[in-house]
């Protein structure tokens, strides 16, 4: 059982660099929590504070209501899997997995049972006699997972464990890590800069930037209701499109986003939140997939532009679209035959529009 709580936690490195600021986070027992953000945002530092590999400079870090700020790593009951698998090259797979237990002088039969159980779950039983150099990247990663699993920790920490694998293997390993979480019934904290990985794995995602939490929520929350333009831009492929324009509220309380001859009418829920914003300059966000080629929704939902690139991506295609000199990218069906220079009209799903303050980048609607 492990619930992890950060209360106003700070991390300042010896050179004075503030890597994590005022972190408040409550990780539930058995939760799969993903720390997501660009390089240098403080996610590994946060993970290392849980592991006890980095000191906490301020605030309180608690495991199940026990303060652990000063608890050494080996007393925290955590296991960690790193990006570099850190296997012992001269030991067999079996001994790599068993090593931690052997050091703790656990009974031999017990070790054997746990190693074989883990190997079976990870489907590497046939590799137990091999050395790491005789394994593929994916197999090595499984050995590293096995080594952490046999310790049966209360908290399982993973720092970019899949980033050395090729794209196809990364996707299949994601599924395995998810299964492992279910099988182990343990708290998982997972660091990645890969938004797709975060969306697939997490119960909740913490998005970080420059040591500061930007948003905490379920994958759906984070993707569908981003609190600011940083979060909105960090998730989604191709990235969300932005248009700078203005809110107009008519006498009949109809609320629109207006830019040039584009005039999109908000749905009632969004309109209500913007009803006193007449004339306000805003940044509109349209996710690439929130358009449709069947222009049926009326003039309040249509965007027109000229095709300036067509990028097939197998299942569908990305359409580059010139709108008042800005490049927008939309995801449309692969069956549409668009050519460069074509004039196109797309219907926007106005219930999925995002509206941000132009200066602060904060959402005005979620
Ligand atoms: P990455 O994905 O590149 O590993 P990250 O989000 O995990 O990035 P951290 O490793 O947590 O980032 O680092 C956060 C910030 O703290 C970075 O700007 C980094 O340069 C800085 N940093 C990390 N370790 C130290 C250190 N020992 N001394 C000073 N600054 C450090």
**Smallest CA separation from ligand 1 atom 28, residue:** 13
- Judgement on whether residues 329 and 262 belong to the same structural domain of the protein: yes
> Domain count of the chain?
2
**Smallest CA separation from ligand 1 atom 5, residue:** 40
- Judgement on whether residues 213 and 258 belong to the same structural domain of the protein: no
Tens of pLDDT along 220-269? 999 999 999 999 999 998 999 999 999 999 998 899 999 998 999 999 99
Nearest to 230 by CA among 242, 246, 243, 218: 242
- Does residue 65 lie within any of the structural domains? yes
Tell me 42's DSSP state. Answer: S
* Residue 254, phi then psi, degrees to nearest 5: -85, 130
- Judgement on whether residues 190 and 250 belong to the same structural domain of the protein: no
- What is residue 183's predicted lDDT score, i.e. its pLDDT? 86
- Does residue 113 lie within any of the structural domains? yes
Q: 293 or 282: which carries more pLDDT confidence? A: 282
The CB of 12 under 6 Å from ligand 1? The reply is no
Would you tell me how many other CB atoms lie within 10 Å of the CB of residue 153? 18
51: domain CATH number is 3.40.50.300
| Sign of CA pseudo-dihedral 75, 183, 103, 44 | negative
Listed residues 190, 214, 234: the one ending a domain? 234
Q: 86 C-alpha vs ligand 1 centroid, how far in Å? A: 20
For the CA of 15, the closest atom of ligand 1 is: 29
∠ CA 290-249-260, nearest 5°, is 60
Domain range spanning residue 261? 241-357
Q: How far apart are CA 301 and CA 192, in angstroms?
A: 36
Tens of pLDDT along 35-87? 999 999 999 999 999 999 999 999 999 999 999 999 999 899 999 988 877 89
Q: 7 C-alpha vs ligand 1 centroid, how far in Å? A: 21
* Total number of residues shown for the chain: 366
Judged against a pLDDT cut of 80, whether residue 299 lies above it is answered with no
Q: 287 C-alpha vs ligand 1 centroid, how far in Å? A: 31
Listed residues 211, 234, 257: the one ending a domain? 234
Nearest to 92 by CA among 33, 52, 158, 140: 140
What's CA 91's distance to the chain center, in Å?
Answer: 35
Confidence of residue 300 (pLDDT cuts 50, 70, 90): confident
| Mean pLDDT, rounded, of the chain | 93
Q: 43 C-alpha vs ligand 1 centroid, how far in Å? A: 8
| 3-state helix/strand/coil string of 156-202 | EEEECCCCCCCHHHHHHHHHHHHHHHHHHCCEEEEEECCHHHHHHHC
- Does residue 225 lie within any of the structural domains? yes
Q: 46 C-alpha vs ligand 1 centroid, how far in Å? A: 10
- Does residue 187 lie within any of the structural domains? yes
**Smallest CA separation from ligand 1 atom 20, residue:** 40
**Smallest CA separation from ligand 1 atom 19, residue:** 40
Q: 222 C-alpha vs ligand 1 centroid, how far in Å? A: 24
* Predicted model pTM: 0.92
The CB of 11 under 6 Å from ligand 1? The reply is no
- Does residue 150 lie within any of the structural domains? yes
- Judgement on whether residues 203 and 276 belong to the same structural domain of the protein: no
Q: How far apart are CA 145 and CA 80, in angstroms?
A: 9
Confidence of residue 1 (pLDDT cuts 50, 70, 90): low
* Helix (H/G/I), strand (E/B), else coil: 271: helix
């Amino acid at each position: 059982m492990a619930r992890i709580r950060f209360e106003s936690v700070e991390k300042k490195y010896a050179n004075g660099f503030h890597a994590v600021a005022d972190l408040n986070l409550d990780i539930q027992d058995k939760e799969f929590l993903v720390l997501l953000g660009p390089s240098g945002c403080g996610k590994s530092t946060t993970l290392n504070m849980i592991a006890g590999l980095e000191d906490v400079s301020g605030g309180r870090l608690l495991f199940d209501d026990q303060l652990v700020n000063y608890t050494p790593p080996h007393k925290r009951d955590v296991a960690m899997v790193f990006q570099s698998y850190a296997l012992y090259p001269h030991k067999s797979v079996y001994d790599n997995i068993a090593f931690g237990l052997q050091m703790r002088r656990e009974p031999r039969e017990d070790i054997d049972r746990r190693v074989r159980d883990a190997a079976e779950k990870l489907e590497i039983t046939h590799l137990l006699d091999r050395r790491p150099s005789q394994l593929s990247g994916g197999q090595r990663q499984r050995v590293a997972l096995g080594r952490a699993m046999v310790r049966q920790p209360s908290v399982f920490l993973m720092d970019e464990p899949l980033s050395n694998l090729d794209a196809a293997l990364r996707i299949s390993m994601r599924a395995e890590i998810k299964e492992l979480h279910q099988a182990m019934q343990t708290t998982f904290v997972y660091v990645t800069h890969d938004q797709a990985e975060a969306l697939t794995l997490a119960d909740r995602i913490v998005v970080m930037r420059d040591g500061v939490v930007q948003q905490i929520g379920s994958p759906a929350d984070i993707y569908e209701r981003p609190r600011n333009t940083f979060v909105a831009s960090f998730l989604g492929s191709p990235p969300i499109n932005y248009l700078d324009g203005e809110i107009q509220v008519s006498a009949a309380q109809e609320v629109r986003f207006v830019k040039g001859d584009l005039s999109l009418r908000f749905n009632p829920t969004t309109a209500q939140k913007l009803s006193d914003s007449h004339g306000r300059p805003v940044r509109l966000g349209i996710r690439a997939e929130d358009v449709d080629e069947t222009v049926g929704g009326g003039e309040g939902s249509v965007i027109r532009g000229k095709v300036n690139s067509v990028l097939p991506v197998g299942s569908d295609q990305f359409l580059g679209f010139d709108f008042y000199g800005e490049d927008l990218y939309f995801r449309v069906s692969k069956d549409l035959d668009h050519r460069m220079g074509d004039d196109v009209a797309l219907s926007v799903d106005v219930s999925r529009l995002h509206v941000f303050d132009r200066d602060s980048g904060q959402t005005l609607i979620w």
